A = this chain, B = another copy of it.
Amino acid sequence: MAAATSAAWAQRLAGVRGLLLDVSGVLYDGGEGGGAPIPGSVEAVARIKQSGLKLRFCTNESQKSRDKFVGLLQRLGFDILVNEVTSPAPAACRILKERGLRPYLLVHDDLRSEFDGMDTSNPNCIIIADAAEGFSYQNLNKAFQVLINLENPVLISLGKGRYYKESDGLMLDVGPYMKALEYACDVQAEVVGKPAPEFFQAALKEMGLEAHETIMIGDDIVNDVGGAQRCGMRAMQVRTGKFRPSDEHHPEVKADGYVNDLAQAVDLILQYAGK
Protein backbone atom coordinates (compact mmCIF):
# COMPACT_ATOMS: atom_id res chain seq x y z
CA MET A 1 0.00 0.00 0.00
CA ALA A 2 1.21 3.50 -0.76
CA ALA A 3 1.80 5.29 2.54
CA ALA A 4 -1.39 6.95 3.69
CA THR A 5 -1.35 10.58 4.71
CA SER A 6 -2.06 11.78 8.22
CA ALA A 7 -5.36 13.18 7.05
CA ALA A 8 -6.32 9.84 5.58
CA TRP A 9 -5.56 7.99 8.81
CA ALA A 10 -7.39 10.60 10.87
CA GLN A 11 -10.46 10.02 8.72
CA ARG A 12 -10.17 6.23 8.81
CA LEU A 13 -9.74 6.04 12.56
CA ALA A 14 -12.08 8.81 13.75
CA GLY A 15 -14.36 7.67 16.55
CA VAL A 16 -12.66 4.35 17.27
CA ARG A 17 -13.27 3.49 20.93
CA GLY A 18 -12.33 -0.17 21.02
CA LEU A 19 -10.21 -2.83 19.38
CA LEU A 20 -10.88 -6.45 18.56
CA LEU A 21 -7.55 -8.22 18.21
CA ASP A 22 -6.97 -11.47 16.41
CA VAL A 23 -4.32 -13.43 18.29
CA SER A 24 -2.38 -15.96 16.19
CA GLY A 25 -0.32 -14.07 13.63
CA VAL A 26 -1.00 -10.72 15.34
CA LEU A 27 0.20 -11.21 18.92
CA TYR A 28 2.39 -14.26 18.31
CA ASP A 29 3.31 -17.01 15.89
CA GLY A 30 2.80 -20.54 17.21
CA GLY A 31 5.44 -23.21 16.88
CA GLU A 32 7.84 -25.38 18.79
CA GLY A 33 7.74 -24.73 22.53
CA GLY A 34 4.57 -22.63 22.21
CA GLY A 35 5.82 -20.08 19.72
CA ALA A 36 7.14 -16.55 20.02
CA PRO A 37 5.65 -13.05 20.34
CA ILE A 38 5.69 -10.90 17.23
CA PRO A 39 8.14 -8.07 18.01
CA GLY A 40 6.41 -5.08 19.59
CA SER A 41 3.10 -6.87 20.23
CA VAL A 42 3.54 -7.38 23.99
CA GLU A 43 4.13 -3.65 24.39
CA ALA A 44 1.31 -2.79 21.97
CA VAL A 45 -1.25 -4.69 24.05
CA ALA A 46 0.00 -2.95 27.19
CA ARG A 47 -0.30 0.45 25.50
CA ILE A 48 -3.91 -0.23 24.44
CA LYS A 49 -4.79 -1.16 28.01
CA GLN A 50 -3.13 1.97 29.38
CA SER A 51 -4.88 4.17 26.82
CA GLY A 52 -8.40 3.67 28.05
CA LEU A 53 -9.53 2.19 24.73
CA LYS A 54 -11.61 -0.93 25.12
CA LEU A 55 -10.00 -4.19 24.10
CA ARG A 56 -11.12 -7.72 23.41
CA PHE A 57 -9.31 -10.68 21.91
CA CYS A 58 -11.37 -12.26 19.12
CA THR A 59 -9.79 -15.53 18.03
CA ASN A 60 -10.69 -18.66 16.13
CA GLU A 61 -8.17 -20.55 18.26
CA SER A 62 -9.59 -24.04 18.58
CA GLN A 63 -6.53 -26.14 19.28
CA LYS A 64 -6.39 -25.27 22.99
CA SER A 65 -8.88 -24.49 25.72
CA ARG A 66 -9.05 -20.82 26.74
CA ASP A 67 -7.22 -21.64 29.98
CA LYS A 68 -4.31 -23.27 28.17
CA PHE A 69 -4.26 -20.64 25.42
CA VAL A 70 -4.28 -17.68 27.79
CA GLY A 71 -1.67 -19.36 29.99
CA LEU A 72 0.61 -19.68 26.96
CA LEU A 73 0.12 -16.01 26.03
CA GLN A 74 0.81 -14.91 29.61
CA ARG A 75 4.05 -16.90 29.59
CA LEU A 76 4.98 -15.10 26.37
CA GLY A 77 4.55 -11.83 28.30
CA PHE A 78 1.06 -10.68 27.26
CA ASP A 79 -1.34 -8.93 29.64
CA ILE A 80 -4.41 -11.05 28.86
CA LEU A 81 -7.12 -12.75 30.93
CA VAL A 82 -9.49 -15.60 30.06
CA ASN A 83 -12.54 -13.35 30.37
CA GLU A 84 -11.13 -10.99 27.73
CA VAL A 85 -11.20 -13.72 25.05
CA THR A 86 -14.00 -14.53 22.59
CA SER A 87 -13.36 -17.97 21.09
CA PRO A 88 -15.49 -20.52 19.24
CA ALA A 89 -15.69 -23.45 21.68
CA PRO A 90 -17.91 -21.71 24.27
CA ALA A 91 -20.13 -20.43 21.45
CA ALA A 92 -20.43 -23.98 20.11
CA CYS A 93 -21.36 -25.25 23.59
CA ARG A 94 -24.24 -22.76 23.72
CA ILE A 95 -25.50 -24.08 20.37
CA LEU A 96 -25.23 -27.69 21.48
CA LYS A 97 -27.30 -26.96 24.59
CA GLU A 98 -29.92 -24.91 22.75
CA ARG A 99 -30.48 -27.61 20.13
CA GLY A 100 -30.04 -30.73 22.26
CA LEU A 101 -27.06 -31.89 20.21
CA ARG A 102 -24.67 -34.57 21.41
CA PRO A 103 -21.30 -34.03 19.74
CA TYR A 104 -18.71 -36.41 18.40
CA LEU A 105 -15.54 -34.36 18.97
CA LEU A 106 -12.92 -34.28 16.22
CA VAL A 107 -10.76 -31.86 18.21
CA HIS A 108 -7.32 -31.56 19.72
CA ASP A 109 -6.90 -33.15 23.14
CA ASP A 110 -6.01 -29.70 24.52
CA LEU A 111 -9.50 -28.43 23.59
CA ARG A 112 -11.56 -31.24 25.11
CA SER A 113 -11.98 -29.62 28.52
CA GLU A 114 -14.11 -26.88 26.90
CA PHE A 115 -16.74 -29.58 26.30
CA ASP A 116 -16.71 -31.02 29.83
CA GLY A 117 -20.26 -31.73 30.88
CA MET A 118 -21.56 -32.16 27.32
CA ASP A 119 -23.31 -35.43 26.58
CA THR A 120 -21.17 -37.19 23.98
CA SER A 121 -23.01 -40.52 24.07
CA ASN A 122 -24.77 -41.69 20.91
CA PRO A 123 -23.68 -38.59 19.00
CA ASN A 124 -26.02 -36.73 16.63
CA CYS A 125 -23.55 -34.13 15.36
CA ILE A 126 -19.87 -33.62 14.66
CA ILE A 127 -17.77 -30.81 16.12
CA ILE A 128 -14.61 -30.26 14.11
CA ALA A 129 -11.83 -27.93 15.26
CA ASP A 130 -8.13 -27.43 14.63
CA ALA A 131 -6.98 -30.90 15.65
CA ALA A 132 -3.54 -30.49 14.03
CA GLU A 133 -1.71 -33.84 14.37
CA GLY A 134 -5.03 -35.25 15.55
CA PHE A 135 -6.20 -35.11 11.92
CA SER A 136 -4.99 -38.63 11.25
CA TYR A 137 -6.70 -40.70 8.58
CA GLN A 138 -8.16 -42.89 11.29
CA ASN A 139 -9.63 -39.96 13.25
CA LEU A 140 -11.09 -38.19 10.21
CA ASN A 141 -12.53 -41.49 9.00
CA LYS A 142 -14.21 -42.15 12.34
CA ALA A 143 -15.89 -38.73 12.23
CA PHE A 144 -16.92 -39.41 8.62
CA GLN A 145 -18.48 -42.75 9.58
CA VAL A 146 -20.48 -41.09 12.37
CA LEU A 147 -21.61 -38.22 10.14
CA ILE A 148 -22.67 -40.27 7.13
CA ASN A 149 -24.82 -42.50 9.28
CA LEU A 150 -26.81 -39.63 10.85
CA GLU A 151 -30.34 -39.23 9.57
CA ASN A 152 -30.04 -35.43 9.88
CA PRO A 153 -26.31 -34.82 9.58
CA VAL A 154 -25.06 -31.77 11.50
CA LEU A 155 -21.45 -30.65 11.07
CA ILE A 156 -20.28 -27.73 13.21
CA SER A 157 -16.87 -26.28 12.43
CA LEU A 158 -14.97 -24.00 14.81
CA GLY A 159 -13.81 -21.52 12.20
CA LYS A 160 -13.05 -22.29 8.57
CA GLY A 161 -9.54 -20.90 8.21
CA ARG A 162 -7.41 -22.32 5.41
CA TYR A 163 -4.07 -22.24 7.21
CA TYR A 164 -2.06 -20.37 9.81
CA LYS A 165 1.59 -19.59 10.21
CA GLU A 166 3.89 -21.26 12.68
CA SER A 167 7.58 -20.67 13.10
CA ASP A 168 8.39 -23.50 10.69
CA GLY A 169 5.91 -22.61 7.97
CA LEU A 170 2.25 -22.53 7.02
CA MET A 171 0.08 -25.15 8.70
CA LEU A 172 -3.33 -26.48 7.61
CA ASP A 173 -6.16 -25.13 9.73
CA VAL A 174 -9.59 -26.66 10.31
CA GLY A 175 -11.16 -25.34 7.07
CA PRO A 176 -9.66 -27.86 4.64
CA TYR A 177 -10.78 -30.73 6.90
CA MET A 178 -14.25 -29.20 7.18
CA LYS A 179 -14.37 -29.16 3.37
CA ALA A 180 -13.27 -32.80 3.27
CA LEU A 181 -16.18 -33.89 5.47
CA GLU A 182 -18.63 -31.64 3.60
CA TYR A 183 -17.67 -33.33 0.34
CA ALA A 184 -17.54 -36.86 1.76
CA CYS A 185 -21.06 -36.62 3.22
CA ASP A 186 -22.60 -34.03 0.88
CA VAL A 187 -23.44 -31.68 3.77
CA GLN A 188 -22.85 -28.00 4.50
CA ALA A 189 -21.04 -27.17 7.72
CA GLU A 190 -22.26 -24.54 10.18
CA VAL A 191 -19.31 -22.32 11.04
CA VAL A 192 -18.92 -21.03 14.59
CA GLY A 193 -16.24 -18.34 14.84
CA LYS A 194 -14.97 -15.68 12.48
CA PRO A 195 -16.27 -14.75 9.88
CA ALA A 196 -19.77 -15.62 11.21
CA PRO A 197 -21.58 -12.35 12.06
CA GLU A 198 -23.02 -13.83 15.27
CA PHE A 199 -19.50 -14.38 16.52
CA PHE A 200 -18.34 -10.80 15.94
CA GLN A 201 -21.59 -9.51 17.44
CA ALA A 202 -21.03 -11.58 20.58
CA ALA A 203 -17.56 -10.06 20.92
CA LEU A 204 -18.96 -6.54 20.50
CA LYS A 205 -21.63 -7.20 23.12
CA GLU A 206 -19.02 -8.55 25.53
CA MET A 207 -16.95 -5.40 24.94
CA GLY A 208 -19.97 -3.10 25.27
CA LEU A 209 -19.43 -1.17 22.04
CA GLU A 210 -21.23 -0.68 18.74
CA ALA A 211 -19.75 -1.90 15.48
CA HIS A 212 -19.04 1.60 14.17
CA GLU A 213 -16.94 2.37 17.27
CA THR A 214 -14.75 -0.70 16.85
CA ILE A 215 -11.81 -1.72 14.70
CA MET A 216 -10.70 -5.30 14.09
CA ILE A 217 -7.00 -6.04 13.61
CA GLY A 218 -6.09 -9.35 12.05
CA ASP A 219 -3.79 -11.18 9.65
CA ASP A 220 -6.59 -12.92 7.68
CA ILE A 221 -7.97 -10.75 4.89
CA VAL A 222 -11.16 -12.78 4.52
CA ASN A 223 -12.07 -14.05 7.98
CA ASP A 224 -10.81 -11.11 10.08
CA VAL A 225 -11.02 -8.09 7.78
CA GLY A 226 -13.90 -9.09 5.52
CA GLY A 227 -15.91 -10.62 8.35
CA ALA A 228 -15.59 -7.56 10.61
CA GLN A 229 -16.42 -5.15 7.79
CA ARG A 230 -19.58 -7.06 6.96
CA CYS A 231 -20.66 -6.42 10.56
CA GLY A 232 -20.11 -2.67 10.17
CA MET A 233 -16.71 -2.50 11.83
CA ARG A 234 -13.54 -1.08 10.44
CA ALA A 235 -10.65 -3.51 10.00
CA MET A 236 -6.89 -3.36 9.45
CA GLN A 237 -4.68 -6.14 8.18
CA VAL A 238 -1.21 -6.61 9.65
CA ARG A 239 1.67 -7.81 7.49
CA THR A 240 2.56 -10.51 10.02
CA GLY A 241 1.36 -14.07 10.52
CA LYS A 242 -0.24 -15.57 7.43
CA PHE A 243 -0.30 -12.23 5.55
CA ARG A 244 0.74 -12.60 1.92
CA PRO A 245 1.49 -9.64 -0.38
CA SER A 246 -1.36 -10.64 -2.70
CA ASP A 247 -3.80 -9.93 0.17
CA GLU A 248 -3.40 -6.21 -0.54
CA HIS A 249 -4.97 -6.82 -3.95
CA HIS A 250 -7.68 -9.24 -2.80
CA PRO A 251 -10.50 -9.38 -5.37
CA GLU A 252 -13.27 -9.03 -2.77
CA VAL A 253 -11.94 -7.49 0.43
CA LYS A 254 -10.17 -4.15 0.95
CA ALA A 255 -8.96 -3.37 4.45
CA ASP A 256 -9.38 0.10 5.97
CA GLY A 257 -5.63 0.05 6.35
CA TYR A 258 -2.62 -2.22 5.95
CA VAL A 259 0.10 -1.93 8.60
CA ASN A 260 3.38 -3.68 9.19
CA ASP A 261 2.42 -5.09 12.56
CA LEU A 262 0.29 -4.58 15.65
CA ALA A 263 2.77 -2.04 17.04
CA GLN A 264 2.23 0.21 14.02
CA ALA A 265 -1.53 -0.28 14.18
CA VAL A 266 -1.55 0.84 17.81
CA ASP A 267 0.71 3.82 17.03
CA LEU A 268 -1.80 5.00 14.43
CA ILE A 269 -4.87 4.34 16.55
CA LEU A 270 -3.46 6.13 19.58
CA GLN A 271 -2.46 9.06 17.38
CA TYR A 272 -5.65 9.42 15.33
CA ALA A 273 -8.58 7.69 17.00
CA GLY A 274 -9.35 10.62 19.27
CA LYS A 275 -10.58 9.17 22.51
Contact = CB atoms under 8 A, between A and B. Distances in A.
A175 B179 contact: no
Contacts of A181: 176
A108 to B, nearest CB: 11
A57 interface: no
Contact of A176 (B136, B138, B175, B184): B184
DSSP majority for the A interface? helix
Contact of A170 (B137, B148, B170, B177): B148
A179 B175 CA distance: 10
Contacts of A185: 162
Contact of A144 (B140, B170, B182): B170
A11 interface: no
Given A180-B177, A184-B163, A172 B136 contact: no
A163 B144 contact: yes
A137 B133 contact: yes
Contact of A183 (B134, B135, B145, B162): B162
B180 A184 contact: no
B172 A137 contact: yes
Interface string A129-152: 001111111101100110010000
A179 B144 CA distance: 15
A169 interface: yes
A180 to B, nearest CB: 4
Interface in A46-79: none
A85 to B, nearest CB: 25
Given A132-B137, A136-B136, A137-B135, A169 B145 contact: yes
Contacts of A163: 144, 148, 184
A118 interface: no
B140 A172 contact: yes
Nearest to A177: B180
Nearest to A176: B180
Nearest to A142: B169
Nearest 6 CB-CB pairs, A to B? A176-B180, A179-B183, A135-B137, A176-B184, A180-B180, A179-B179
17 contacts: A132-B137, A133-B137, A133-B138, A134-B137, A137-B172, A144-B163, A144-B170, A144-B172, A144-B176, A145-B169, A148-B163, A162-B183, A175-B183, A175-B184, A176-B180, A177-B180, A179-B182
